[in-house]
Structures are given as C-alpha cells and as structure tokens.
Structure 1
Amino acid sequence: MKTQVLERSPGSTLTDAYVHRTDSRIEGLFPYHPQDERDWERRASYLDSRASERVDAIALAAVLENYNRRNGASAQTMEAISRVADGALVIVGGQQAGLWGGPLMILHKAVTVINAARDAQQRLRRPVVPVFWIAGEDHDWEEACHTYLPGEGGLQKLAIARPAGPRTSVSRTPVEQAIWTEQLGALATLLPDTLHKPGLIRQLEAMAARSVTLSELLASVLSWLFANEGLVLLDADDPELRRLESPMLQRMLVDNRQLEESFRSVSDDVEAWGYKLQAEAETDSANLFYYRKDVRAPGAGERTKLYRTEQGFADRRGLIRLSTAEAIAAAAAEPEQFSNNVLSRPMMQDYVLPVLATVLGPGEIGYWGITGRAFQVMGMEMPIVVPRMSFTLIDETTAKHMEKYALTIEDVMFRFEEFRDTWLAAQDRDQLGNQFDVAEQQMLALYDPLLKDVAARMPGLAALTAKNRELFSAHIAFMRRRVDDELKRKHEVSLNQLERIRLMLYPGGIPQERVLNFTLYWNKYGGDWLQQLLRIPFDPSGKHRLVYL
C-alpha cells in the first residue's frame, strides 16, 4: 500500500486555528487538544470522576445491544458493548445517513473513530470502544436520500424522493421495499460486472430487506463493513435512547436561556475575531425540536423548531404552545417527542456516553467551538476534539493516467481546465494557430489599405468596408474553430481520460470523499481497500492522504 500526505498550508478558519493551534483565543474554547499527550490522561481522569453524572453504563449498554442486534451486529460489536457496560470509555463520531452508505467521508469518519479508539486503548492501557452516532433525528431528507457513482457521460445520481407524509426525521421516514428494489437495480446497472459484484449486490439486497429507513440501511452497511472492528452503532433518534436522555432534556429546558446566551456570547466573540460562523445561534431559539402530532397524519409527527417565549416554548406558526412546566413534564413523560439541534447535540452526546474524544469534520469543529461555554453552563467539559482523517482513493487506472499526463492532485483540484487546455494546445494547435495568426496579419496588411482607400473615395461604402473586414476575420476564426474541433476529435481518447481522472478524484469540483459511494471501490477490490485505510496509523492532526489502491 502506498500513501502520501497531501500537505496544505493552514487556512484562516476556526477549524484551522484549532487544529494547528495558531490562535490562543480559539484554543480557549476547547479544554483539550488531541496532539497533547497529557490531555488524553486528563480527560480519562475527568470521566472517571464524573461517572455518576452520566447515563448509567448498564442501562446504556442494554439500549446499544438492542439497537445493534436489530441491525446485524457482529460478535465483536456485542463484546464491545459489554465493555461499555463495564465502564469502558468511548471514541465517538457520527454522520447523517446516506443512500447505500452515502459518500465516502462517512466511512472515513468510522475509520478514524476505530483507529483513534485503538490508539487510545494502547495509550491509556484500558478499554476504549469505537462508537458511531447515526444522526437520524435530522430531517433534511435531501441531504440523506441520495448517492453518486461515475457513469457514462459523467456523474450519476441515485436518489429516493421524499415519501408522502409530515416533514419528520430521517429515522421516522419509512421507505417501501419496492423503492429499495428499484434503487438497487439502478445501482447494479451503474456498477461494471466484476468478480465482487454479485456478492455485493446480494449483501445490499439483504440489508435493504431488513431496513425500514435510510438510518437502518446505514446501520446495516456499517455493521457489515466493520464487522471485525467492534464498531458500536447508535441512532440519535432511537426512542429507547431518548428515554435515557430525558433528564438532560429537562435540564436543557430549565437552563434554556443560559444555554442560548452562552452560544450567542461565543458566536459574537468568534465573529469579532474574524472567523466565519459554521452554525447560527438564533435569537430565542430553544436549540431543541419537537415532533408536532397531527391527527390528520398519525404516526411520526413533523419535526418543528422550538423557540423560547415569555410563557414557555412555541414554534413560529403558533401550532405548538407549551408552558415551561408543560415542556419539562413532556420531556419527562414523552422524551421521544423532543430532539436536539447541532448546538445542543454535543452536550447530549456527552451526557449519554463516556466520551474520551469526538471525531469531527472541518465544519463540525467550527460549530462545536460555539458550544465551549455551553458545556460549562451544564456543568460539563467538552471532550477532546479530533479532526477526521480524510483520504482520496486513487485506483490503478487513474494513477496510470495521471502518470501519463504528468498530472498532480493539485492540478486536478485547483487548475484542471487550465491544465487540460494547455495540454491540448501543446499537441499541435500552437503550430497551426501561429500560422493562422501570421496569415491573417499578412492578408490584412495588404487588404486594410485597400479598404481605407475605398472608404475615403466612396464614403457611402465606408460601413460596407468595415463589415467586409469583420467578415474576413470571422472566416479566419471559423476555420480556426473547425481546426480546434478536429484536434479535439483527434485527441478525444486522451481528453476523456483526463475527464475521467477529474471524475474519480474531484467530481463536480468537490472532493471525492464528499461525493462518491463506497460500492464503486468494493465492486472493484472487494474489502481490501477498506482494510488499507484501517491499517493507516491514527493521526490526531487529521491530515489528508492520497491512498493508491
């Protein structure tokens, strides 16, 4: 396996300032840093001293066992859950669901969680369990319902239309089996026939058969891909889990104003320091959602944002009105009617789990910074924040073509069109182009004096002479374009190879890991490529790596 670190200069974002420790003001928002050896010991000691302030470990393990067993957990995962019951610490990361596992970055986050847990376990000489948190409470269907694969003519999108019903969470939105079958057929059509394809399609078919929602499908995919790694899964919208969260929900409602003030104070500071906010601390927001029941649509209710009012809590349309006492009582009796937003979720995660460290992407680190003082309001400490490791997978065909054209990953990312046009010009267009330039200059040198003489002697023809000159140049330009078109046809194979490089590495001008689906690589290599990623040592700096398959 060949890997190469893609060196990048630190940028000017809050995340860059945190990861590279370039701004002491930002460091003050995070009590720990993953590159400080002592912070791992400090965080572990802190968690040991606060065990009674979190969800009971045995009760948590029971919920995790039920959820993972339903979604095809391996014996290794069940053993990891038993260690949670015994008081093991966890490394946690999460992501919203995606069709057939979504973009590669979901797997990259799981790989980081697993490798970080393995590293921490060796570092601390005590059990540390990897946990993946499926953000099933999110209701942005358009972010979760699709995936992409390369196909004839470019990038191909597979997507499921939102089923009829209220705008509820992804984990409460059922998908009919006929839709899974249709989507699996579309996927099979896009994937080339290989030795691994029949087994892959059978696995996905079995997963879809036992999945009612996109969240369950992702859980099945992760359970299968990481069966040997002891990765524990949970769904943020699991009703059993929400019942464990009830005491923290009640605290968030009681201390709601202080929470919002803490978010806003940090947001104001971050903006004053010159950083762009990754999440808005909205005025009077409760930073919680409520599932509004509707008698016309029994079942899952619409996930509705709550705001604080003088009387308690309500939505903007006035369809939900709860006094503070009513809201607290509802959180105690029916906690599954509530869910977190991006700013309250970090504290809930820390209440539910003994989080040694949390693995976050660049945008997530940005909004977690806003929660630093909110942790303090809740009498908690933010865990170690670990930047997600990221990878660009380079298959052997792409690598061969990059070598053929002396194309670097930076060329693909930052100057592809310029590189392609320069390469094409270098083939033989320069020589012909120069000849057209010389010919046009020489002919106009003879023709222009004649046109000027005609215009001077016959003023009525002045406009015609100007138009005639334009037509002359237009005919030259037309011939040049035809030559260029013929040149492109002549080099069509090479241009297609260049476009394929971009499609595989930076599709649509977006990093590969945010677009392409894992099935592309499993179909070609089986599970070897994923094992390569799992063998890469944990890197707390989150550097980006090129991985040659």
Structure 2
Amino acid sequence: MKFKPSDINFSDTNSFSNTLISYLAKEEIWKKFTSFNADFDGIRQASENTLSKYISRKILNEVLNAQYKSVNCPEKLQQNLEKLKSEKTLTITAAHQPVVLGGPLYVALKIIHAVKLADTLNEKSFGYTYVPVYVMGSEDHDFEEISGVDLYGKRVKWEREAEGPVGRLSLKGFEELRNQLSGIIEGSPEAEKVLGIFDKTHAESKTFGKFTFKWIHHFFAHLGLVILRPDNKSLKSLMVPIWEKEIKDSFSQKCVLKSLKNWPANHKIQAKPRDINLFYFENGKRQRLSREGKTSSIIEAVDDKIEKNEEEWLEVLREFPEKFSPNVFLRPLYQSTVLPDAVFIGGPSEIAYWLELKEIFDAANAGFPVLMPRASLLWIDKYRNNKLHKLKIDDLDLFRSTDKIVKSKILEKSANELNLNTEIEGLSQLYNEVLKKALQIDKNLEKSVESEKTKSINSFKNLESKIIRAEKRHNETLVNQVENIKEKLFPSGSLMERKEAFLSLYLQHGSDAWQVIYENIEPITKKFKIIRECEE
C-alpha cells in the first residue's frame, strides 16, 4: 500500500489551544517560561546544561537493569540501555499513565516522535548521544480515566472496582476485557497476533503496571524505546531533599505562583498548585497532603485524615520515600531528576502546564528541558480517502464543520442558484434609495428606514437558509457521505488521535504503521500531518 503525506498549519485544524499555537510560533511571551528554544540549537544548549547538573545516572541504570532483567530486548534497545551508562548520554522523554490496551493513538505518536528526534540528533553528532524514553506514570489514581479506550469506534472497558495507584492494581477483570477485545478485532489482519501478545503479557504480569510495561515493550521495543517505571524506592530516594523542602516550605506553590504573575492574560492557566504538591500512600490509597485549615506545623493526608506534624512527616519520608508521590507540579521535576532529559515531548495540555514550572526547576537546581509539542496527525484509510477524492474535499475542507462542508459542496453541485446574495444586494440598494427620499422629508426617519432594512435583509437570509436546507434534503446521499466520513475521522467531533486506540492502526498494518508515522513526522514539530492510504 502507498501513503500520501501532506500537512497544514495547526491553527487551520481548529483543534488546538491558542497557547500551543503561539508557542509553536515562538512568540516572545514564552521566553520567560522556558530555558531553551524548541529547535536543534536549543536542544544542544539544553544538553550541555542538563549534563552539568545531572547526578542520578548510577541509580537510574541499576533500576533499569532490574526492570529489564527478565525481558527479551531487541538489539537497538540493548544498545540504548548500554548507552545510558555513558556520561555523554541524554534522554528524549515522553510520558503517560498506563491506559487499557496502551491508550489512544497520541500515545504512540509521543513514543515514535521521541524515537525520531533521538535518531535525528544522533545523526547530527552534537558530541552527545540521545536515547528515547517513555515514562509510565503508574502512580496516577484516576481509574475511570485509564479504564477504557475506543477501538474501531467501539468502547473497550475494564470493569472492576478500583482504588489507589492504577499501576499497582491486580488484573482482576482482564478475562472479560480479553473477550471484548476478541469480539471487536475478529477478522483484522493482525488480530491473532494481537490476541497472542495480550495472552502472553497477561500470563506474565500480576499488576496493571507490569502488564502495560510489557504491552508497550511488545509494540515499540524494536525502535529502541526504553520504558521507565518511576514508582520505585531507589528513584524516589533521590527526591528526598526536594520533597523535604516541599513539606517544610511549600516551595513549589511559591514558585508557580511567582510564574503565574507574568502569565499572558489571553492564555488559559492549565493548572493551579496546592499548598503541598505531594501524595501519600496509605491503606491502599493515594492521598493528598495538605496543611490547609490546620495549624502551621500540622499536615494531613486528606482522605483518611491522617495528621502528623512536620517533623513526623519528614521522618516517614526519609525512611519510606516509596510512600510518597508527586502530583502534576512536582512529577516533571522528579522525571528530570531521575533522567538526563534534554527534551520533553508532550501534548498540548502537558506543554501548557510545563510552561508554569521553570521556577520550580531553578529552585531545585535542575536542568529544565526543551519543551517539544508532540507530533500530531490524521490517518485517513483508503476507503475514506477515495470518498474524499470523489467529493473533492481537500485537507482544509476536512477541518471545517460538517454543515459548512455540506453547504459548500451543495453550492458546487447544485444546478440551482441557492444563495440570495444578488437579491440581498439589490434590496440593500433599494433601501438606500428609500433612505435618500426619507431624509429629504424628515431626518428623524433614518433610524426607522435602517431598522426596516435590517429586518428585510435578515428575512432574506433566513429564506436563503430554508432554500439550502431544502436542497440538502434533495441531496441526502451527499449529506450522509460527509457525515459518515467526519464521524469516522473525527469521532464525537474530536481528533481521531485523541479517541481511537493506537491498536487500530497496528491491527491493519502491523509495525509498518509505526514506520510510516516515523518517516512522515518532523523531529522538530511545525505542522499538523495528514497521512492518506492510497491505491498501489
């Protein structure tokens, strides 16, 4: 099968925030919220800065050796694990929480983008080596968010009661999940292979975190992807001094609030910090720590109302760092303390909240990586590409609303003149003549004439809409075709990459799908990509 790539501006998709679009445009307002530009020169500078501050390599490699101890690693992955031992090696990092069946397509896009950028940088010979890393946020506790994904437009849902970090959950209910998967993918080219991977991974895993580690490994290890599970005592021990500072001084909240004083007025603040940006694991729960409403020395684990004074919490932290977990404001610092990050690849929301965090990194004397928006794309299957070609719907048309596409195509196809532009123009001229006569008699009549003119023009516009609706009814087939295409490519009005499981592409094309994406995305994100399946 052949593939035809094209691209458009992110702004033309009507699918991304003004923050992401202005950041991609390198607007000056973001200079104070970043350390380096999202380009090759910025990455070179970030690499030098990160290595001057990074001290965690020995423990990182010990943890990775343990995590990969019983895992079969392809040659490129083995080489990358070995490269991480070198003082000249940096990481290109993407992160996501574990999601049923690996999650939507954008998870794969993050991973493949990290691989593409690392490979590109290695070819440029900056004097450093780069390794792609996927950080698995298995301590997140929002089960509802991770328990389902759409596959071929049908919901696959892990049904069970759950509490606490999702990565620590048992695989209770996975037999039923497997039945759902089997029923949906039956007949797909790679169905048997995918079910085999599921069964093998299920048999080898006791927790959802372990399952996701091996699942992602199965699909992306051949690209050299290193997966890190940061829910680890040795890694968290590295954070004890910083988390002590958080418990004593709420330093991260102060840093973010300082940054937000300069936040651009026309851009949404992605998240606001709490007084303590840490969680505590107890009784199977991940509980928020807070001193709100307490005397200054008392801190509470909110769910179970566990109260300790500051020094008692510090003692627990020093003895049991694995019982603590950073929230969205301290997780990036944890990641970039553990890893020698030169670049963080993130989605629109991730980039937006990372832009709030530079002061935290500065306060902790940690290297703030280049923030690279992840690759984003629309994959159009052969059947719908043929339909689009016949309907003469181009890249920009695709991102218009269904009503606007249908209206424009009806106007093109109809033998009737559907708009009343000529008549409305004539009506406007007629009222202008009436106004001249009225003003000769009484200047106070101007408002009355203008009011009647507006009413008449609006009536004509309403009539025009009725004419177009009538023509739509006569073109029901066209309307249905456009609606069906839009619903497939933009399920529930959203980009497919945000809804549809990455597994759907693999089921049709196997790992060739990753190669097509790899070849067509940019290492430095500039444009939104469209990939069309074409006839041979």
TM tier, smaller: 0.7 to 0.9
Q: Which amino acid aligns with 2:109?
A: H
Q: Which segments of 5 or more consecutive residues in structure 2 lack a partner in the other structure?
A: 419-468
- Is the 1:91–1:116 Cα contact (8 Å) retained in structure 2? yes
Greater mean deviation of Cα atoms: 197-206 or 233-242: 233-242
SS of 2:262's partner is helix
Greater mean deviation of Cα atoms: 260-269 or 1-10: 1-10
Asked if 1:289 corresponds to 2:279, the answer is yes
Match of 2:271 in 1: 279
TM-score normalized by structure 1? 0.79
Candidates 184, 191, 194, aligned match of 1:200:
194
Partner Cα separation in structure 1 for residue 209 and residue 279 of structure 2: 19
Q: 1:541 to 1:373 in 2, by over 3 A?
A: same
Asked if 1:169 corresponds to 2:154, the answer is no
Q: Which segments of 5 or more consecutive residues in structure 1 lack a partner in the other structure?
A: 294-300, 433-480
Match of 1:223 in 2: 217
Match of 1:266 in 2: 259
- Offset, 1:192: 5.0
- Offset, 1:96: 1.5
Match of 1:449 in 2: none
Asked if 1:303 corresponds to 2:286, the answer is yes
- Is the 1:68–1:232 Cα contact (8 Å) retained in structure 2? no
Candidates 207, 210, 215, aligned match of 2:204:
210
Match of 2:158 in 1: 160
- Is the 1:390–1:542 Cα contact (8 Å) retained in structure 2? no
Match of 1:108 in 2: 109
TM-score normalized by structure 2? 0.81
Candidates 30, 37, 41, aligned match of 1:26:
30
User: RMSD in angstroms over aligned alpha carbons?
Assistant: 2.9
Q: 1:504 to 1:259 in 2, by over 3 A?
A: same
Candidates 515, 518, 523, aligned match of 1:531:
515
Match of 2:144 in 1: 142
Match of 1:296 in 2: none
Partner Cα separation in structure 1 for residue 120 and residue 328 of structure 2: 28
Match of 1:408 in 2: 394
| 1:400-431: CA deviation from partner (whole Å, max 9, x where unpaired) | 11111122344343311332466579878979
| 1:365-400: CA deviation from partner (whole Å, max 9, x where unpaired) | 111111111111112231111111111111111211
Partner Cα separation in structure 2 for residue 421 and residue 71 of structure 1: 56
Q: Which amino acid aligns with 2:168?
A: R
SS of 2:267's partner is coil
SS of 1:358's partner is strand
SS of 2:488's partner is helix
Candidates 42, 46, 57, aligned match of 2:45:
42
- Is the 1:287–1:344 Cα contact (8 Å) retained in structure 2? yes
Partner Cα separation in structure 1 for residue 414 and residue 18 of structure 2: 44
- Is the 2:93–2:135 Cα contact (8 Å) retained in structure 1? yes
Greater mean deviation of Cα atoms: 5-14 or 522-531: 5-14
Candidates 316, 328, 341, aligned match of 2:314:
328
Q: Which amino acid aligns with 2:52?
A: S
Q: 1:414 to 1:377 in 2, by over 3 A?
A: same
Kindly, what percent of the aligned residue pairs are identical? 22
Asked if 1:59 corresponds to 2:59, the answer is yes
Q: 1:353 to 1:8 in 2, by over 3 A?
A: closer
- Offset, 1:232: 0.6
- Is the 2:344–2:369 Cα contact (8 Å) retained in structure 1? yes
SS of 1:85's partner is coil
Aligned residues: 476
Asked if 1:359 corresponds to 2:345, the answer is yes
- Offset, 1:268: 3.2
- Offset, 1:49: 2.2
SS of 1:370's partner is coil
- Offset, 1:102: 0.8
Partner Cα separation in structure 2 for residue 210 and residue 497 of structure 1: 45
Candidates 126, 129, 136, aligned match of 1:127:
129
Partner Cα separation in structure 1 for residue 48 and residue 470 of structure 2: 73
- Is the 1:413–1:506 Cα contact (8 Å) retained in structure 2? no
Match of 2:458 in 1: none
Asked if 1:345 corresponds to 2:336, the answer is no
Q: Which amino acid aligns with 1:41?
A: R
- Is the 2:53–2:365 Cα contact (8 Å) retained in structure 1? no
| 1:162-200: CA deviation from partner (whole Å, max 9, x where unpaired) | 425xx3111122222xx2232222222222514322222
